[in-house]
Amino acid sequence: MKYLIVGLGNKGNEYENTRHNIGFKVADKIAEILGTPFQITNFGLMAEGKYKGRKVLILKPDTYMNLSGKAVKFWIQKENIPLDKLMIITDDLALPFGTLRMKMKGSDAGHNGLKSIQNELQTQVYPRLRFGISANFSEGRQADYVLGNWTEEEQNKIPERTTQFANACLAFVFSGIQNAMTGFNGK
């Protein structure tokens, strides 16, 4: 069995530690756990490893957030990965900081990366893992907030949270979406 895990974010040093790039941070943690490095490839950086006998591809698209769907579509077609073996990791303003929510389907909720994926795949039915970043910004400042750096308090909690999210993704690979949702949602 083959799985594609995609961490959403924006390429470039100026975005590295922003809230919008939490998908990249979780992807990095998964690759670290599997002991596999990222390589430059089509549409981004890819790490390939095994988890309990299952092949796991970990992608960090270089298309910028708004065009993430192009990278996702390319890789699911190239590797012949069914949508139920795809996991998208993204930030979510509607959830308190660090909250984990895994779902089998759903709307884009105004997230440009998910909008792009939905547009390219022509469906809302694919697994996603949302990392709560909260909505602690004043009206009209959403873009500045998601593209802003973590607070010191948040930054201190990121290592533990990315490990938890990486483990949720690996549970998805090993035991499926329903078991992973039951074991990790809300934690």
CB-CB contact of 57 with 2 (8 Å): yes
With b for 16 or more beta-carbon neighbours within 10 A and e for fewer, the 9-45 pattern comes to: bbbeeebeebbbbbbbbbbbbbbeebebebeebebbb
Give the Cα separation of 6 and 27 in Å (integer): 7
For Cα atoms 78, 84, 88, give the angle at the middle one, nearest 5 degrees: 75
Active-site residue numbers?
Answer: 20
Which helix (H) or strand (E) segment is 89 a member of?
strand 86-92
| Closest-CA residue to 4 (of 66, 64, 54) | 54
